[in-house]
Amino acid sequence: MSPNATTDAASLSAAKIKVPQHVVYRTFPTETVVLNLHTGRYHGLNTTAGRMLEALEQALCVRDAAAAVADDYKQAASVVEKDMCALCELLLARGLVEIDGGPGG
């Protein structure tokens, strides 16, 4: 799915998010720095958003990633899921993540 495609919250929650090959990131104690190699632009994420990005890469779907982060931060999964979907929309718009369409991308 292209980064510009609109996604409703329910389908985004069930989606597998991946970091494309043209994006690299590194986590530091106070932030995560994300670089889009296609654009040459750096993006900074606070520690919570950085943890969300890591969880998104490891989980089968946004909902599962949100549950993991909610457990880490002792927050309601529904609240974290809403915040994570909002983060995904921002990252998708900047080409920093993609929705994984399964085998073959």
Give the pLDDT confidence of 43-57 residue by residue, as tens digits: 999 999 999 999 999
Structure token pair of residue 63: 């909902």
Q: The domain spanning residue 80 has which CATH number?
A: 3.90.930.60
Residue 28 lies in a domain: yes
Residue 13 lies in a domain: yes
Q: Count how many domains the chain has.
A: 1
- For residue 90, what are the CA distances in angstroms to 28, 45, 95, 104? 21, 11, 9, 24
Give the pLDDT confidence of 6-34 residue by residue, as tens digits: 467 789 999 999 999 999 999 999 999 99
d(CA 7, CA 88): 10
- For residue 71, what are the CA distances in angstroms to 48, 49, 55, 65, 89? 13, 15, 12, 10, 22
Which amino acid, 72?
A: D
Give the pLDDT confidence of 30-85 residue by residue, as tens digits: 999 999 999 999 999 999 999 999 999 999 999 999 999 999 999 999 999 999 99
